[in-house]
Amino acid sequence: MFRSLFRKKIQVPRHDENWQVYFSRINNQVTSVIVDINVAEIAPVNSLSEVFYLIIPFDYANEEGLPTIESYKLINEVEDKISDLIVRYGENMLHVSTLTMNSERLQMYYCHKVENSKAFLSQLDKDFGEKLTYQIDHRHDPNWSDYFNLAYPLPFQMEMIKNRIVLRQLTEAGDDLKESRNVHHYLAFREEKDMDEFLQFAESERFVLFLKEKRDELWKLGISRQDYVSYEQIDELCLPIWEKAKSFNGIYNGWESEVIRTKNQ
């Protein structure tokens, strides 16, 4: 039987990256999670069945084990260089998340076999030398359990991510988020009785109904109230609405607000 002398190249599926940041707790430790949430659209990838961690300790951690402002500059410089090395020497490795906890950055990759990381690690040692201290860890993970259980956000965490995306859009449009404004929330219910029960909650919380229509077998609702939408306050505003809609078998479809610019802009 003919036997190929060439190793089959592992194809890493292409996807549109969507990196987001949120906070979680892993092993009762506060953890900052940077994750490409669009990886979930292609995961698990059969040809990438090993999870590989590049673990880098850092100095100047705060009491929760997360980086201080002074340590971020060095971390960013190191990770930018590592990212460049991955592009050139880790073509069979897919970076899916970075977890920060207990004074360490844990870069999570998936690969075909851990041997795929040898060229990358060799170049890492060559470029950084003794300037970079790191460890590695790996295991067989064909179902991508680490990605889904450690990195991918839970539903309420996904809502927090969505909240910050809207806030970022507002600030990029020139809104300093200092003014209260009319905030519109959108929901959908399949059953009229569930919608009516939710509306009782909304009325008790002083929300005003501005949209109520049945479309495509769903009841579409819009409620609004004058509120502040700062980074510190947005989750306290939106998560209770999301939770209450869920308890009445409804879907919370997010919020929007007009852009309020200061007069000198």
Asked whether residue 23 falls in the same domain as residue 142, the answer is yes
Q: Is residue 3 part of a domain?
A: no
Reported as type and span, the H/E element at residue 223 is strand 218-227
Smallest Cα–Cα separation from 173: which of 265, 259, 231? 259
Q: Is residue 110 part of a domain?
A: yes
- Say which CATH number the domain at 110 has: 3.30.70
The Cα 204–Cα 212 span in angstroms is 18
Asked whether residue 166 falls in the same domain as residue 107, the answer is no
Smallest Cα–Cα separation from 85: which of 118, 131, 108? 118
Q: Which of 98, 125, 151 lies at the terminal end of a domain, its last residue?
A: 151
Q: Is residue 248 part of a domain?
A: yes
Q: What is the pLDDT along the chain (265 residues), one digit of tens a residue?
A: 334 344 456 677 889 999 999 999 999 999 999 999 999 999 999 999 999 999 999 988 999 999 998 888 889 999 999 999 999 999 889 999 999 999 999 999 999 999 889 999 999 999 998 889 999 999 999 999 999 999 999 999 999 999 999 999 999 999 999 999 999 999 999 999 999 999 999 999 999 999 999 999 999 999 999 999 999 999 999 999 999 999 999 999 999 999 998 766 5
The Cα 138–Cα 96 span in angstroms is 14
Q: Is residue 240 part of a domain?
A: yes
Q: Is residue 226 part of a domain?
A: yes
142 cis-preceded (ω within 30 degrees of 0): no
Domain membership of residue 223 as a residue range: 155-257
What is the number of structural domains in the chain? 2
